[in-house]
Amino acid sequence: MPITEILQKNADIYPNDVALVEINPKFERQRASWREYSLIETNSREVYRKEITWQDFNCKANRFANLLLSRGVKKEDKVAILLMNCLEWLPVYFGTLKSGAMAVPLNYRYTADEIKYCLDLADADVLVFGPEFIGRVEEICHKAKKVKTWIYVGEDCPTFAESYEELVEYCSSKSPKIKLTDDDNAAIYFSSGTTGFPKAIIHKHRSLMHAAMTEQNHHSQTKDDVFLCIPPLYHTGAKMHWFGSFLVGGRSVLLNGVKPEWIMQVASEERCSIVWLLVPWAQDILDAIERGDIKLEDYDLSQWRLMHIGAQPVPPSLVKRWKSYFPTHQYDTNYGLSESIGPGCVHLGVENEHKVGAIGKAGYGWQTKIVDENRVEVEKGKVGELAVKGPGVMTAYYKDEKATAEVLADGWLFTGDMAEQDEDGFIWLVDRKKDVIISGGENLYPVQIEDFLRKHDKINDVAVIGLPDPRLGEIAAAIIQAKEGMELTEEEIEEFCLDLPRYKRPHKLIFAEVPRNPTGKIEKPKLRRIYGAEGVVAQQNEIK
């Protein structure tokens, strides 16, 4: 069943029940629809809150679908979405699916050039964007190869775009008569290898529906559960976890902000029972409790039953520390890739806290195996590459047969992650074949940072690696080799890196020789051994 039918079902059965709530503690009046926000006072804080029912949600999705159809959008055309988390995000996504088009979520951290690259790669016909992206979109609106329609969600619509609010106002709220099947393509999500060039991942409606079923099977969401969604919706992780609540018609809260006190306040006020966190956010909450900035007696958290974490390895010490403050919470972790429609192809399970540190076993409807370099399954206890198989495996990388053939074979997706299985069948990650650094749940691509740093006229060579970090999981460290006879300072590199997006800037600088093997490749395993074991070296300088 296409996942759009779940939205129609929820609208039919629970028309007046709240589907989505948006809360923005750092509100700025930027979206036209935010005129409907109600201002509430909580402990002398201003919080702006807005909600929509399942009927509202479905009607908004139908209006957007009919708008696209009126503009000549056809089945499997591509509609790119570049929005911060907001109440418009999911109706736009589902409206796109209802029209038969493919949704193409974009990372809101993309630069203008990256936005253009992804629009061109996906053959996007439409871009829906918000006020935060006007400058970046304006840079590329005359350069994108195929985009003909630019739709703006917000007040003060720029001249190169059309207003979402004005366009959908007169569109029908009835469901368009577009027949969809499980085998129809539904969405393109972006992923990347170590080079940092995104690949466009195609998923069918079957993938999306299976993600919803997997999540609900793992975490037993009911209509009475309330899901607190903090991560960005362009991530498969945030959306696919939300799908579990969506499947049963449960209420969900979109929180725009990650401050510990905001998370705790919203969990208390909105009666959230399921909260998905990243490692840094969980750590920040615990730190705030221990500093006395958060007093647990100020909140009613009796309904909070599940805290789960994904997107990066979870330190067992963090879970132990969390349970010391929240002993009644269930805990789970999830493993997945965008190529496997996000989290859930492997999961720990709430009943397996004694195995914290492992990523778990095959998820609902999934199979796993660990293979050697010839893709032959290895014995338990042996390290090999993790492969997964199930209804959520991608169809292909769009327009990239070579890359597709490298990771797909006989229905198996070869993840590039090295792992081993213990005697109880639990899978433990050992290392990644790729050099991608996962910092605070975001992927950093060393080659991109290296290429940028090499533009400095005093740098002879550079290598970027990930180093362990107790809060972010990993941080980017740059090993910099200056040109002979030249001196480099921390301040020079800091200033030079101001042209990089903040999250891509190296957190540590190491001024040293960059080792290369006889074929000219950087010996990153050697660098990790030298600098990763202790995490601190004499030449290391931390950039705050």
Reading the block at residue 352, the tokens are 């397996």
Cβ proximity of 340 and 394 under 8 Å: yes
DSSP state string for 524-541:
HHHHHHHHHTTS--TTEE
Q: What pLDDT, on the 0 to 100 scale, is given for residue 518?
A: 44
What residue ranges define each of the domains in the chain, with the CATH number in brackets? 4-257 (3.40.50.12780), 306-432 (2.30.38.10), 437-542 (3.30.300.30)
DSSP state string for 415-451:
EEEEEEE-TTS-EEEEEESS--EEETTEEE-HHHHHH
Least confident window among 79-88, 180-189, 321-330, 350-359:
350-359
d(CA 411, CA 396): 11
Give the rounded distance of the alpha carbon of 479 from its chain centre. Answer: 28
Least confident window among 149-158, 350-359, 400-409, 437-446:
437-446
Q: What pLDDT, on the 0 to 100 scale, is given for residue 162?
A: 97
pLDDT digits (tens, 9 = 90+) for 331-357: 999 999 999 998 899 999 999 989 988
Give the rounded distance of the alpha carbon of 64 from its chain centre. Answer: 24
Q: What pLDDT, on the 0 to 100 scale, is given for residue 90?
A: 97
Contacts with 305 (C-beta within 8 Å, 6 or more apart), sequence order:
225, 273, 274, 328, 329, 330
d(CA 346, CA 364): 8
d(CA 134, CA 115): 12
Cβ proximity of 368 and 346 under 8 Å: yes
Q: What pLDDT, on the 0 to 100 scale, is given for residue 316?
A: 83
Tell me how far CA of residue 420 lies from CA of 64, 379, 425, in angstroms.
Answer: 47, 9, 9
pLDDT digits (tens, 9 = 90+) for 449-495: 887 898 898 998 899 999 999 888 899 999 999 987 889 999 999 99
Q: What pLDDT, on the 0 to 100 scale, is given for residue 52?
A: 97
DSSP state string for 106-135:
--TT--HHHHHHHHHHHT-SEEEE-GGGHH
Least confident window among 7-16, 282-291, 309-318:
309-318
Q: What is the pLDDT confidence band of residue 41, given thresholds at 50, 70 and 90?
A: very low
pLDDT digits (tens, 9 = 90+) for 110-151: 889 999 999 999 999 999 999 999 999 999 999 998 999 999
Q: What is the pLDDT confidence band of residue 191, given thresholds at 50, 70 and 90?
A: confident
Size (the chain), residues: 544
